[in-house]
Amino acid sequence: MKITIPPHIATLRGYQPGKPIEQLIQENNWERYAILWNNENPLGSSPKAKEAVTNAFDGSNFYPDPLSLELRQALANKLGKKVENIVVGNGSEGLLMNILKAFCYGDDELLTSSGSFVIIYIWSKICGIPVKQIPLTTDYRYDMEGLKANITEKTKVIYLCNINNPTGAMITREELEDFMRFVPEHVLVIVDEAYFEFSASLHDDFPDSITMGYDNIITLRTFSKAYGIAAARIGYAIAHKDLIKPLLNVSLTFEPSNLAQAAGLGALTDDEFLQRTLDNNKKGIQYFYKEFHRLGLKYIPSFGNFVMIDCGTAERVQEIVDYLKARGVFVRPLNSSGLPHCLRISVGRQEENQYCVEVLEMEAQEAKKGV
């Protein structure tokens, strides 16, 4: 073929999916299994979201509201903001791509940490934006002083994932306030708070970036995690109205779909489902801490709905992942995040958490025997 592919696209590694989990369950006749690798809501979806989607389907022959005004107004009411401060899109990662498209050009650079949300590196490469990565600290946190020291005249955007996925570590309120006082006003700071509901329930003083009053912050949140509608692909950004306007301009005309908008509206009203989700997560996190400590695993304290384990080597990670997968337990190795010696385990239903721990203990015993 004579059509050339741009080098920055030709070198991308696309997602390589394995067999669907449903197929693996059927092929292996697993009576017990635990799907703990994508930080999804193990309790399912909000019943009110489901009802709203069902009711909205009858209008699917028409294009959706391109401005998503009803959902944006509902979010504005909930957050104490105005409609012009909010934009919705195809998940927070879709909005992240729109931010890069809307604000970066020429020699602009993006500054962030290594060992963070993998999509920021992929989207930046697709957009042809140079990325400067500052290593994590020894306890797997963002190095805020290192980021400060690497802001240059080319820095256009800084990406902060709080809490950090996949390590679970938090940027404290004091650290974020100190950082924002240092950052020049012309530099855009993205604060990705995809796990906000979990984080706020696990830490009384978790920094809510939308209350900080900085005009150069864009906060990202999502319905995919705590609200349990990941497949609907809907997230939202909160920012100064002058930052929202360009995001509306670069979004797809009818993004997100009418069903996604309806799912978001329904989920926002379901406080009972949200509370059950947060209670299950808090219980699961504490259970994992207790059991991982008992098993002698080096885990990183988390403020999300997952826990990262430092296994020491990439080889050890692969041994554990393969053993668990062969018994129907799916966890996430972190090679793609630049942490090949670590793996991440999402909080599931209690029976899933217990089964995961049982299999981890079996693996540890067999590894000790050299089986």
Residue the block writes with tokens 């195809």: 90
pLDDT of residue 227: 96
Torsion-angle region of 228 (φ positive above 0: left; ψ -120 to 50: alpha; else: beta): left
Torsion-angle region of 297 (φ positive above 0: left; ψ -120 to 50: alpha; else: beta): beta
Rounded Cα–Cα distance for residues 16 and 11 (Å): 15
Residue the block writes with tokens 């509901």: 197
pLDDT of residue 1: 65
Q: pLDDT digits over 254-266, tens only?
A: 999 999 999 999 9
* Cβ-based neighbours of 173, under 8 Å, separated by 6 or more: 205, 206, 207
pLDDT of residue 17: 59
Distances 117 to 55, 72, 191, 325 between C-alpha atoms, Å: 35, 26, 12, 23
Q: Tell me: pLDDT of 267 over 80.
A: yes
Percentage of residues in the chain with pLDDT exceeding 90?
Answer: 87
Domain with CATH 3.40.640.10 in the chain: 47-270
pLDDT of residue 2: 81
pLDDT of residue 29: 84
Q: pLDDT digits over 55-91, tens only?
A: 999 989 999 999 999 999 999 999 999 999 999 999 9
Q: pLDDT digits over 286-304, tens only?
A: 999 999 999 999 999 999 9
Q: Grade residue 230 by pLDDT with cuts at 50, 70 and 90.
A: very high
Q: Tell me: pLDDT of 324 over 70.
A: yes
Lookup: tokens for 350: 């209690």
pLDDT of residue 116: 96
Please give the CATH number for the structural domain made up of 17-44+272-369: 3.90.1150.10
Read off the pLDDT of each residue in 273-292 and give the average, rounded to a whole number: 98
Nearest to 299 by CA among 356, 349, 351, 352: 356
Q: Tell me: pLDDT of 14 over 70.
A: no
Read off the pLDDT of each residue in 322-328 and give the average, rounded to a whole number: 95
Query: What count of residues does the chain have?
Result: 371
Residue the block writes with tokens 């909205």: 56
Distances 61 to 57, 58, 235 between C-alpha atoms, Å: 9, 7, 23
What is the fold of 47-270?
Answer: Aspartate Aminotransferase; domain 2 (3.40.640)
Rounded Cα–Cα distance for residues 256 and 53 (Å): 13
Q: Tell me: pLDDT of 204 over 80.
A: yes
**Contact present, 38 and 331 (Cβ < 8 Å):** no
SS3 per residue for 113-155: ECCCCCHHHHHHHHCCCCEEEECCCCCCCCCHHHHHHCCCCCE
Nearest to 155 by CA among 193, 107, 92: 107
Read off the pLDDT of each residue in 193-212 and give the average, rounded to a whole number: 95
Rounded Cα–Cα distance for residues 44 and 336 (Å): 27
Q: Tell me: pLDDT of 18 over 80.
A: no
Domain with CATH 3.90.1150.10 in the chain: 17-44+272-369
Strand arrangement, sheet containing 306-310 = 298-300, 306-310, 342-346, 332-333
